[in-house]
Amino acid sequence: MVKSYTSLAEIKSAIANGNTTVEKLAKECLDNISKHARLNAFNEVFHQETLIRAKDIDKKIRQGAAGKLAGMVIAIKDNICYKGHKVSASSKILNNFTSVYSSTIVERLLAEDAVIIGRCNCDEFGMGASNENSYFGPVKNFADETRVSGGSSGGSAVAVQAGMCHAAIGTDTGGSVRQPASFCGLIGLKPTYGRISRHGIIAYASSFDQVGTITRSVEDAALLLEVMAGPDEYDSTLAKADIPAFNTRKSTSVKKIAYLQEALSSPGVDQEVKGTFINYIEKLRAAGHIVKPIAFESLDYMVPAYYILAMAEASSNLSRYDGVHYGYRSPAATDLESTYKRSRSEGFGKEVKRRIMLGTFVLSAGYYDAYYTKAQKVRRLIKEKTDEILKEFDFILIPTAPEPAFPIGKGEKDPVVTYLSDIFTVQASLTGAPAISLPAGNNSKGLPLGLQLLTRHFEEQELLNFSKYFLEL
């Protein structure tokens, strides 16, 4: 089984010893995809292409000419463009659309000999925390098929969780890599905003969207970050900072760690999540680290500020899907106006339409200052407070989500339930800080739990080093 390999280093060792080949690994992944098709993790699998590419990479390995990612089978979220392949963002409005170019990250992954096995199901346009808002139906959690996978990169997480690939690429706007990684017992990394190119990523909220990784090991998260990061002439928001070789070394120095006391006092946080959180705080203290509680008075404003800003940006970004240029066009349209109205009302799902309408409302005359401008001011306050904390502390420790994976259908009854799933992930999104979700065992029902570490901008190396140490506590 592919899932028995926890890192690419193990895979490369097995290949070098003659115990496996890239082709054999690819076949095992394809077998697992077929075996676990009911989980609905993939929107499309590149069967023949995967096997042909795997054979080519085996040849490169024999010739000593293979790239850094040779042996790694990767799945990509269905909002990442790959030339000559369909990309839909799990939306009817982009059904059967084929990308005419590849995203920068796909080009960089292929250049290092990764095998891309398929495109994964996700919440439509990345809007959701449960992967239930997909035109292709919900993704089921491999740990308990009655539970959600998390979202919006739920298919990416379950693909790794169930051994359908070795690692997966998702996007994280308000927690969309970290939360599903937590729900599936995996490592989810959201780098600093501006670290990885967004060129060729279907936009949801441009000032938040960031490419992230879902892996079984910190080493693989580091390697994928190293391969994908760096300047790109197609993305002007990228930092000019040099990209180091993210070689993970287990951190050994004493660290100062802050934790949000609201995570323990809030009645909305699951008791077993609190128990796990307390357990790790005690482990860190026993190991000699300085761990202190801090108050974050703006916690209650994070989710409202995030959703106002994200929905406003979504309203703008999704205006391009009009039924005229490409994608779904309503067969009932009779003129230009009805083409717009019918195509958008029939092509977008309920949650996407809700967010477009709310975003349009907060940007409208008379409400712009009351909502959008105020949310921007709150965002600035949250960033300043976070930066202030990180001047004194090395890391902020918080749960990834307030509860484990919840039952499928729960969010349908009350959308606010899924919005509040982002309570602990949106801080890193609002501030642009790097954050990582790390597996922290299972609860009494066998559902995975995750804890999250945030640190200063562009200090992914320290974050990865300490994550490696943290997982061995």
A 10 A CB-CB count for 284 gives 20
- Give the Cβ contact number of residue 247 at 10 Å: 12
- For the record, the structure tokens of 218 come out as 């910190």
Catalytic residue among 7, 77, 99, 437: 77
Sign (positive/negative) of CA torsion 322, 326, 327, 328? positive
Q: Which of 130, 149, 176, 421 is catalytic?
A: 176
Angle of helix 218-228 relative to helix 104-111, nearest 10 degrees, comes to 110
How far apart CA 316 and CA 430 sit, in angstroms, is 18
DSSP letters of 404-438? SPPBTTHHHH-HHHHHGGGTTTHHHHHHT--EEEE
- The widest CA-to-CA distance across the chain, in whole angstroms, is 71
Which of 90, 134, 152, 156 is catalytic? The answer is 152
Q: Is 152 one of the annotated active-site residues of the chain?
A: yes
Q: Residue 25 phi/psi, 5° resolution? A: -60, -45
Residue type at 351 in one-letter notation: E
Residue 116: strand pairing partners: 74
440: its two tokens:
């922290």
Label residue 274 exposed, middle or buried (CB < 10 Å: 0-12, 13-18, 19+).
Answer: middle
Q: Which two tokens stand for residue 95?
A: 């059904």
Bridge partners of residue 280, in order along the sequence: none
Residues known to be catalytic: 77, 152, 176
